[in-house]
Amino acid sequence: MSDNNARVWFITGSSTGFGRSLVEAVLKHGDRVVATARKPEQLDDLIRQHPEAVKAVSLDVTDPNAVQAAVKAALDAFGRVDVLVNNAGYGAVGAIEEVSDEAIHRQFDTNVFGALNVTRALLPTLRQQRSGHILNLSSVGGLVSFPGSGIYCATKFALEAISEALAKEVEALGIKVTIVEPGAFRTDFNGRSLAAPETFIDDYASISGAMLQWLKDMDGKQPGDPDKAAAAMIQVVESDKPPLRLALGADAVGAIDAKLESVKAELDAWKQVSIDTAFEGAVIGTIGG
Protein backbone atom coordinates (compact mmCIF):
# COMPACT_ATOMS: atom_id res chain seq x y z
CA MET A 1 0.00 0.00 0.00
CA SER A 2 1.43 3.39 -0.99
CA ASP A 3 1.68 6.28 1.46
CA ASN A 4 -1.00 8.10 -0.53
CA ASN A 5 -3.47 5.28 0.09
CA ALA A 6 -2.29 4.30 3.56
CA ARG A 7 -4.69 5.05 6.37
CA VAL A 8 -3.57 6.90 9.47
CA TRP A 9 -4.67 5.25 12.72
CA PHE A 10 -4.79 6.94 16.14
CA ILE A 11 -4.75 4.23 18.80
CA THR A 12 -4.90 4.78 22.56
CA GLY A 13 -3.45 2.34 25.07
CA SER A 14 -0.91 1.10 22.51
CA SER A 15 1.84 -0.31 24.71
CA THR A 16 0.21 -3.64 25.60
CA GLY A 17 -2.73 -5.93 24.89
CA PHE A 18 -5.16 -5.15 22.08
CA GLY A 19 -3.47 -1.81 21.46
CA ARG A 20 -0.03 -3.31 20.89
CA SER A 21 -1.39 -6.11 18.69
CA LEU A 22 -3.37 -3.61 16.64
CA VAL A 23 -0.39 -1.27 16.15
CA GLU A 24 1.70 -4.19 14.90
CA ALA A 25 -1.08 -5.41 12.59
CA VAL A 26 -1.71 -1.92 11.19
CA LEU A 27 1.98 -1.48 10.37
CA LYS A 28 2.13 -4.91 8.75
CA HIS A 29 -0.95 -3.93 6.73
CA GLY A 30 0.97 -0.97 5.31
CA ASP A 31 -0.85 1.78 7.19
CA ARG A 32 0.57 4.47 9.44
CA VAL A 33 -0.19 4.87 13.11
CA VAL A 34 -0.06 7.35 15.95
CA ALA A 35 0.45 5.05 18.92
CA THR A 36 -0.38 6.69 22.22
CA ALA A 37 0.42 5.33 25.66
CA ARG A 38 1.29 6.44 29.16
CA LYS A 39 4.75 4.95 28.55
CA PRO A 40 5.46 5.46 24.84
CA GLU A 41 9.06 4.24 25.30
CA GLN A 42 7.59 0.73 25.31
CA LEU A 43 7.04 1.23 21.58
CA ASP A 44 10.69 2.08 20.79
CA ASP A 45 11.26 -1.24 19.02
CA LEU A 46 8.44 -0.54 16.57
CA ILE A 47 9.73 2.97 15.92
CA ARG A 48 13.14 1.56 15.05
CA GLN A 49 11.54 -0.91 12.63
CA HIS A 50 9.08 1.57 11.07
CA PRO A 51 10.51 5.08 11.60
CA GLU A 52 8.41 6.66 8.84
CA ALA A 53 5.15 4.90 9.64
CA VAL A 54 4.71 5.14 13.41
CA LYS A 55 4.73 8.05 15.82
CA ALA A 56 4.62 7.32 19.54
CA VAL A 57 2.96 9.95 21.70
CA SER A 58 2.68 10.15 25.47
CA LEU A 59 -0.97 10.34 26.47
CA ASP A 60 -3.10 10.09 29.58
CA VAL A 61 -6.63 10.08 28.13
CA THR A 62 -8.03 11.59 31.35
CA ASP A 63 -6.01 14.80 30.74
CA PRO A 64 -7.85 17.00 28.19
CA ASN A 65 -4.76 19.15 27.56
CA ALA A 66 -2.67 16.06 26.85
CA VAL A 67 -5.38 14.82 24.48
CA GLN A 68 -5.33 18.07 22.51
CA ALA A 69 -1.54 17.94 22.34
CA ALA A 70 -1.61 14.33 21.10
CA VAL A 71 -4.14 15.16 18.38
CA LYS A 72 -1.96 18.10 17.26
CA ALA A 73 1.10 15.83 17.19
CA ALA A 74 -0.81 13.34 15.03
CA LEU A 75 -1.92 15.97 12.54
CA ASP A 76 1.55 17.55 12.47
CA ALA A 77 3.07 14.14 11.71
CA PHE A 78 0.65 12.79 9.10
CA GLY A 79 -1.80 15.57 8.23
CA ARG A 80 -4.91 13.51 8.85
CA VAL A 81 -6.47 10.74 10.95
CA ASP A 82 -8.60 8.09 9.28
CA VAL A 83 -9.24 5.63 12.12
CA LEU A 84 -9.57 6.37 15.83
CA VAL A 85 -9.37 3.42 18.19
CA ASN A 86 -10.40 4.17 21.78
CA ASN A 87 -8.67 1.24 23.45
CA ALA A 88 -7.22 2.67 26.67
CA GLY A 89 -8.96 1.31 29.74
CA TYR A 90 -8.92 -1.15 32.63
CA GLY A 91 -11.32 -3.17 34.78
CA ALA A 92 -12.45 -2.45 38.33
CA VAL A 93 -13.72 -5.57 40.06
CA GLY A 94 -15.87 -5.74 43.18
CA ALA A 95 -19.47 -5.71 44.32
CA ILE A 96 -21.25 -2.39 43.87
CA GLU A 97 -21.06 -1.81 47.63
CA GLU A 98 -17.38 -2.75 47.83
CA VAL A 99 -15.89 -0.42 45.22
CA SER A 100 -14.87 2.94 46.70
CA ASP A 101 -16.16 6.29 45.45
CA GLU A 102 -12.64 7.16 44.31
CA ALA A 103 -12.27 3.90 42.39
CA ILE A 104 -15.66 4.40 40.71
CA HIS A 105 -14.74 7.91 39.57
CA ARG A 106 -11.33 6.73 38.36
CA GLN A 107 -12.96 3.91 36.37
CA PHE A 108 -15.38 6.27 34.64
CA ASP A 109 -12.67 8.89 34.10
CA THR A 110 -10.61 6.45 32.06
CA ASN A 111 -13.12 4.19 30.35
CA VAL A 112 -15.83 6.76 29.58
CA PHE A 113 -14.55 10.32 29.89
CA GLY A 114 -11.15 9.35 28.47
CA ALA A 115 -12.78 7.94 25.33
CA LEU A 116 -15.01 11.02 25.13
CA ASN A 117 -12.01 13.35 25.46
CA VAL A 118 -10.22 11.75 22.53
CA THR A 119 -13.32 11.36 20.36
CA ARG A 120 -14.45 14.95 20.84
CA ALA A 121 -10.92 16.23 20.16
CA LEU A 122 -10.72 14.36 16.84
CA LEU A 123 -14.29 14.87 15.60
CA PRO A 124 -13.59 18.34 14.12
CA THR A 125 -10.87 16.80 11.94
CA LEU A 126 -13.05 13.88 10.87
CA ARG A 127 -15.94 16.23 10.09
CA GLN A 128 -13.70 18.45 8.00
CA GLN A 129 -12.42 15.41 6.11
CA ARG A 130 -15.97 14.07 5.71
CA SER A 131 -14.49 10.66 6.41
CA GLY A 132 -13.21 8.47 9.21
CA HIS A 133 -13.96 5.43 11.33
CA ILE A 134 -14.16 5.33 15.12
CA LEU A 135 -13.65 1.98 16.87
CA ASN A 136 -14.65 2.03 20.52
CA LEU A 137 -13.35 -0.91 22.55
CA SER A 138 -16.26 -2.00 24.70
CA SER A 139 -16.64 -5.55 25.99
CA VAL A 140 -19.14 -8.37 26.20
CA GLY A 141 -19.69 -6.53 29.50
CA GLY A 142 -21.06 -3.63 27.46
CA LEU A 143 -24.22 -5.65 26.82
CA VAL A 144 -24.17 -8.19 29.65
CA SER A 145 -23.44 -7.06 33.20
CA PHE A 146 -21.87 -9.63 35.50
CA PRO A 147 -21.96 -9.73 39.33
CA GLY A 148 -18.69 -8.49 40.75
CA SER A 149 -17.96 -6.26 37.76
CA GLY A 150 -20.94 -3.91 37.71
CA ILE A 151 -18.88 -0.71 37.79
CA TYR A 152 -16.67 -1.83 34.90
CA CYS A 153 -19.70 -3.00 32.94
CA ALA A 154 -21.44 0.32 33.63
CA THR A 155 -18.59 2.17 31.90
CA LYS A 156 -18.90 -0.10 28.88
CA PHE A 157 -22.71 0.24 28.82
CA ALA A 158 -22.14 4.02 28.79
CA LEU A 159 -19.61 3.75 25.97
CA GLU A 160 -22.09 1.68 23.95
CA ALA A 161 -24.83 4.29 24.42
CA ILE A 162 -22.49 7.10 23.39
CA SER A 163 -21.29 5.13 20.38
CA GLU A 164 -24.79 4.21 19.22
CA ALA A 165 -25.94 7.83 19.32
CA LEU A 166 -22.70 9.07 17.77
CA ALA A 167 -23.04 6.64 14.85
CA LYS A 168 -26.39 8.20 13.97
CA GLU A 169 -25.09 11.76 14.43
CA VAL A 170 -22.10 11.41 12.11
CA GLU A 171 -23.37 8.94 9.50
CA ALA A 172 -24.35 11.71 7.08
CA LEU A 173 -20.88 13.26 7.54
CA GLY A 174 -19.11 10.20 6.16
CA ILE A 175 -17.91 8.97 9.56
CA LYS A 176 -18.47 5.38 10.69
CA VAL A 177 -18.60 4.01 14.24
CA THR A 178 -18.06 0.43 15.38
CA ILE A 179 -18.37 -0.89 18.93
CA VAL A 180 -15.97 -3.77 19.55
CA GLU A 181 -17.15 -6.28 22.19
CA PRO A 182 -14.42 -8.78 23.12
CA GLY A 183 -14.87 -11.72 25.42
CA ALA A 184 -11.88 -13.20 27.26
CA PHE A 185 -8.68 -12.47 25.33
CA ARG A 186 -5.11 -13.16 26.36
CA THR A 187 -4.16 -9.57 27.24
CA ASP A 188 -3.06 -8.15 30.58
CA PHE A 189 -6.68 -7.27 31.48
CA ASN A 190 -6.80 -10.09 34.04
CA GLY A 191 -3.41 -9.10 35.44
CA ARG A 192 -1.90 -5.61 35.49
CA SER A 193 -5.09 -3.94 34.24
CA LEU A 194 -7.32 -5.44 36.94
CA ALA A 195 -8.21 -3.28 39.94
CA ALA A 196 -9.54 -5.10 43.02
CA PRO A 197 -11.44 -3.28 45.79
CA GLU A 198 -9.45 -2.08 48.80
CA THR A 199 -12.09 -3.49 51.17
CA PHE A 200 -13.90 -6.80 50.85
CA ILE A 201 -17.29 -7.52 52.42
CA ASP A 202 -17.75 -11.10 53.60
CA ASP A 203 -21.35 -11.29 52.40
CA TYR A 204 -20.13 -10.91 48.80
CA ALA A 205 -17.23 -13.37 49.05
CA SER A 206 -19.01 -16.01 46.98
CA ILE A 207 -20.04 -13.43 44.37
CA SER A 208 -17.55 -10.64 43.74
CA GLY A 209 -14.79 -12.61 45.43
CA ALA A 210 -15.48 -15.55 43.12
CA MET A 211 -15.44 -13.27 40.07
CA LEU A 212 -12.07 -11.81 41.08
CA GLN A 213 -10.62 -15.26 41.65
CA TRP A 214 -11.96 -16.51 38.30
CA LEU A 215 -10.36 -13.58 36.49
CA LYS A 216 -7.03 -14.23 38.19
CA ASP A 217 -7.21 -17.95 37.45
CA MET A 218 -7.94 -17.20 33.78
CA ASP A 219 -4.93 -14.90 33.40
CA GLY A 220 -2.79 -16.29 30.59
CA LYS A 221 -5.39 -18.94 29.75
CA GLN A 222 -7.98 -16.82 27.97
CA PRO A 223 -9.11 -18.40 24.68
CA GLY A 224 -9.01 -15.21 22.61
CA ASP A 225 -5.96 -14.33 20.48
CA PRO A 226 -5.32 -10.53 20.45
CA ASP A 227 -3.58 -10.75 17.07
CA LYS A 228 -6.68 -12.32 15.53
CA ALA A 229 -8.81 -9.63 17.17
CA ALA A 230 -6.58 -7.00 15.55
CA ALA A 231 -7.04 -8.67 12.16
CA ALA A 232 -10.82 -8.64 12.67
CA MET A 233 -10.77 -4.91 13.47
CA ILE A 234 -8.78 -4.18 10.31
CA GLN A 235 -11.31 -6.24 8.34
CA VAL A 236 -14.11 -4.06 9.75
CA VAL A 237 -12.30 -0.87 8.75
CA GLU A 238 -11.74 -2.30 5.25
CA SER A 239 -15.46 -3.14 4.90
CA ASP A 240 -17.80 -0.96 2.84
CA LYS A 241 -20.58 -1.81 5.29
CA PRO A 242 -19.00 -2.19 8.73
CA PRO A 243 -21.17 -3.33 11.64
CA LEU A 244 -22.21 -1.05 14.47
CA ARG A 245 -21.29 -3.87 16.86
CA LEU A 246 -18.59 -6.51 16.48
CA ALA A 247 -18.53 -9.28 19.09
CA LEU A 248 -15.15 -11.01 19.37
CA GLY A 249 -14.87 -14.55 20.67
CA ALA A 250 -17.29 -17.46 20.92
CA ASP A 251 -17.81 -16.65 24.60
CA ALA A 252 -18.92 -13.11 23.74
CA VAL A 253 -21.26 -14.36 21.01
CA GLY A 254 -22.80 -16.92 23.38
CA ALA A 255 -23.31 -14.46 26.24
CA ILE A 256 -24.82 -11.81 23.96
CA ASP A 257 -27.11 -14.37 22.31
CA ALA A 258 -28.38 -15.47 25.72
CA LYS A 259 -28.91 -11.84 26.82
CA LEU A 260 -30.91 -10.98 23.70
CA GLU A 261 -33.12 -14.07 24.12
CA SER A 262 -33.69 -13.20 27.80
CA VAL A 263 -34.61 -9.59 27.03
CA LYS A 264 -37.03 -10.67 24.26
CA ALA A 265 -38.68 -13.30 26.47
CA GLU A 266 -39.17 -10.85 29.32
CA LEU A 267 -40.42 -8.11 26.98
CA ASP A 268 -42.99 -10.49 25.52
CA ALA A 269 -44.10 -11.78 28.94
CA TRP A 270 -44.80 -8.25 30.23
CA LYS A 271 -45.76 -6.60 26.95
CA GLN A 272 -49.42 -5.99 27.78
CA VAL A 273 -48.56 -4.44 31.16
CA SER A 274 -46.11 -2.17 29.37
CA ILE A 275 -48.56 -1.15 26.64
CA ASP A 276 -51.44 -0.48 29.04
CA THR A 277 -49.63 2.50 30.65
CA ALA A 278 -50.62 4.98 27.89
CA PHE A 279 -53.37 7.59 28.15
CA GLU A 280 -56.63 6.45 26.52
CA GLY A 281 -56.55 7.43 22.86
CA ALA A 282 -52.92 8.55 22.93
CA VAL A 283 -51.06 8.40 19.61
CA ILE A 284 -48.03 6.14 19.97
CA GLY A 285 -45.01 7.20 17.94
CA THR A 286 -41.43 6.07 17.65
CA ILE A 287 -38.94 7.35 20.22
CA GLY A 288 -36.69 9.90 18.59
CA GLY A 289 -38.79 9.86 15.42
Whether 289 has a pLDDT exceeding 70, the answer reads no
**Range 16-27 average pLDDT:** 94
pLDDT at position 191 is 62
Sequential DSSP letters for 143-182: TS--TT-HHHHHHHHHHHHHHHHHHHHHGGGTEEEEEEEE
pLDDT at position 286 is 77
In a domain, 105, yes or no: yes
In a domain, 1, yes or no: no
Whether 174 has a pLDDT exceeding 60, the answer reads yes
Distance (Å, rounded) from C-alpha 239 to C-alpha 81?
A: 18
In a domain, 131, yes or no: yes
Sign of the torsion formed by the C-alpha atoms of 23, 19, 158 and 254: positive
Domain total of the chain:
1
Of the chain, the percentage scoring pLDDT greater than 90 comes to 79
Active-site residue, from 21, 149, 152, 208: 152
Active-site residue, from 156, 163, 176, 208: 156
pLDDT at position 272 is 96
Q: Give the burial class of 38: count Cβ atoms within 10 A of its Cβ; 0-12 exposed, 13-18 middle, 19 or more buried.
A: middle
In a domain, 180, yes or no: yes
Whether 2 has a pLDDT exceeding 60, the answer reads no
pLDDT at position 197 is 84
pLDDT at position 245 is 98
Q: How far apart are the first and last CA of the chain?
A: 43
The yes-or-no answer on residue 138 being catalytic is yes
* pTM reported for the whole predicted model: 0.93
pLDDT at position 3 is 59
pLDDT at position 218 is 77
In a domain, 285, yes or no: no
Active-site residue, from 14, 15, 21, 138: 138
In a domain, 287, yes or no: no
Name the pLDDT band for 151 (thresholds 50, 70, 90): very high
85: containing domain: 8-275
The yes-or-no answer on residue 90 being catalytic is no
**Range 68-82 average pLDDT:** 97
5 vs 230, residue with greater confidence: 230
pLDDT at position 1 is 39
CATH number assigned to the domain comprising residue 12: 3.40.50.720
- To the nearest whole number, what is the mean pLDDT of the chain? 93
In a domain, 261, yes or no: yes
pLDDT at position 158 is 98
Number of helices (H), then strands (E), belonging to the chain: the values are 10, 9
pLDDT at position 88 is 95
Tens of pLDDT, residues 247-256: 999 999 999 9
In a domain, 283, yes or no: no
